[in-house]
Amino acid sequence: MPIVERPTGGASLLGGSIVLPANACGHALPPRHVSPWVGEPGTAGTVAVVGAGKMGLPLAAQFAGHGWTAIAYDISEAVVGAINEGRSHLVEEPGVAELVAASHAAGRLRATTDGVAAAREADVVVLIVPVKLDAAHQPDYSHMDAAVDAIAGGLHEDSLVVFETTLPVGDTRGRYAARLEAATGLRADVDLFIAFSPERLYSGAVLRNLATYPKLVGGLGPASTERAALFYDSVLDAEIVAMSSAEAAEFSKLADTTYRDVNIALANEFAAYADRVGVDIREVIAAANSQPYSHIHQPGIGVGGHCIPVYPHFLLSRAPELTLVARSREVNDGQIRIAVDAVREALGGLDGAPVLVLGLTYRHGVNELAYSRALPLVDALAAAGARVSAFDPLLSDEEVRSLGAEPWMWGTPSDARAIVTQTGDRRWPMLDAAWFPDLAILVDGRNTLADLALPSGVRYRGIGVSRSNQIPSVPHLAS
């Protein structure tokens, strides 16, 4: 596809989930393999992917599938060993295992624990290792700093280094370009090309996303931007957007994820008001989103995952004056308190009260705990004196215990007086109230159980959703 300066299209914002069609591959495969690779159309070189985790391995496989020789560098010997046997360690990512096996069999994909050797052989080095938050909600660079240092000794004249890990604005240039120049003696955008290109991937749909979403690329200068855009144009089937700078590309990813956090916080505040006036927030949002300029997200018990609860803090670390961003983080993290208070009120206290939490991973169907709101939920209930049990179909009993809860076996009798759902797992609508003879309240943290059959004495509490159609009187301003 052509390389452009602005995305040429987008989806209609009519509300709900947006699924864009994947682009068909338009490359003439196989490309001509060259060394060194300098961006000539129809050619491929060697790429090292630093970090062979849940996003890095699919990237390496994608690149290899488009004719590049891909070297996955990782510090885990088990991960490296699996790749070198043609196996993917990602069991839940559609299509990746097959692409890894095919690329390895074709001799285009291998792995190593030697970062210097991988960078020395590569024309392109793509870094995708975690930058998380420390205890003070500041960026934790320990993994990325170590990764940069691990490959710096192998970089050479004309190497292209691309950061795909989300970074605070200015870090590609101010933190890492300077670090690489000092380590190599090369000049950025002259002898060493450096760019930022944010991953825009969703667990469970990574390969589809790579063929769908425009790929944003911003370099330290025109030469770096051009070299990075040409690389991605050779390995992806999506539109490539060459942005004006690395900073613009960095900011674009933070703007994307922070928009969603702010939008969800707004939905959560709308839900609180819906509770007060006795309307169903789902009906309100669906009606509002029928106007194409409205795209209100869904409220819930909080926001988890690697991205949305983290990247607003990257913005705030450099721009604390963004008070709306800070307030949105407070609102979304505060949803846990709403659930705990609802249970406390219904049971007349939490000391010794048996409470069952359903769903511990940050999202249903994804076996990851990254910033899952179940973790502070379990902690808050336990700190208030509750006896917390939990169930998640993706976690073992040992894993549940390690999170501070006693495991509950699906379908067995329980003395739980309260149930709180933290994910929207498709299994929850099959709950049978007969399993819980003492149940007093169900807190539906994802608004997926409003139609569940419950005994008349059991209270249902959604997030802006109740089972009462009674509309309380709403004060009006005098005319």
What residues are annotated to the active site? 253, 307
The answer to whether the peptide bond before residue 130 is cis (omega within 30 degrees of 0) is no
Distance of alpha carbon 27 from alpha carbon 439, whole angstroms: 59
Are the C-beta atoms of residues 94 and 204 closer than 8 Å to each other?
Answer: yes
Give which of 92, 89, 106 is closest to 33, Cα–Cα: 106
The sign of the dihedral angle between the CA atoms of 137, 143, 149, 151 is: negative
Torsion of CA 445, 449, 454, 457, to 10 degrees: 30
Residue 368's contacts (CB-CB under 8 Å, 6 or more residues apart) are 54, 203, 305, 306, 361, 362
